[in-house]
Amino acid sequence: MLFLFDIDGTLFDNEKRVIQESTVKALQKLKQKHKIGIATGRAEFMLYSIKEIISLIDYFVLINGQIVKVGDRTIFSQPIAVELIEPLVRDFDKLNLAYGFEGELDEAVSRIDDGVIGSFDILALELPPINKEYYLERNVYQLWVFCSPEDMTTLARRHPHFQFIRWFERGYDVLPVAASKSEGVKKLIKHLGIDISEVVAFGDGDNDYELIADAGIGIAMGNASDKVKSAADYITAPVSEDGVFKALKHYKFI
């Protein structure tokens, strides 16, 4: 079996800003018999929050499936075309919204406001530099917009080729509609020569929904959104209550 874990709210307890000791020990034991991967909205340079377990990770599905790596080797990479980004940026500016860009090696935002500060603080991430023209200089794999649900609804209506996935009160990932962690995982398992039925996936956020639904076994954390729980085969305890450890014990994987 291949085990894939989301980071924030799954491996990483964002409130306590730690990986639970039970999670570390569970992954160490799991690694003795199985391959382990992460499936995250983060880019590789943002993985410092899980540095104590990074040596256990074999596979990386990054930026919500936009980059897939086997060890140090990139097997899939899908940046967003500049001509698709420009209409979004124009609308963000028209609505006076803060926004940002996620690249493979770094990131940038248009400005720093309360929405940006809150969204990055909850993930225990450093604030990005300001560079509104980042997308003209580097490949962009995902955008962010920091706005109200009402503004998000307006943007989603104007830009039907993009999806807006909430990750904090005023923070949204902005991706092409065809992109998802699940699509990235499909690239990985094709490379590995295994079937999706051989995947065990853990997650909690709306960007985990497709993967939890598609995996052979989809496990939602107790702190997961209702949407993710509705797709899960099993709902474990919250991240703060040893949810990863308890689910792996439940299925006798450790």
Q: Please confirm, yes or no, whether 6 is among the known catalytic residues.
A: yes
Backbone φ and ψ of 133, nearest 5°:
-105, 15
User: Residue 101: which residues within 8 A CB-CB, separation 6 or more?
Assistant: 107, 108, 109, 131, 134, 135, 138, 140, 142, 143, 144
Q: CA dihedral in degrees (234, 123, 78, 56; nearest 10)?
A: -60
Which residue among 6, 13, 204, 208 is the active-site one?
A: 6
Measured CA to CA, the distance from residue 60 to residue 38 in angstroms comes to 5
Catalytic site positions = 6
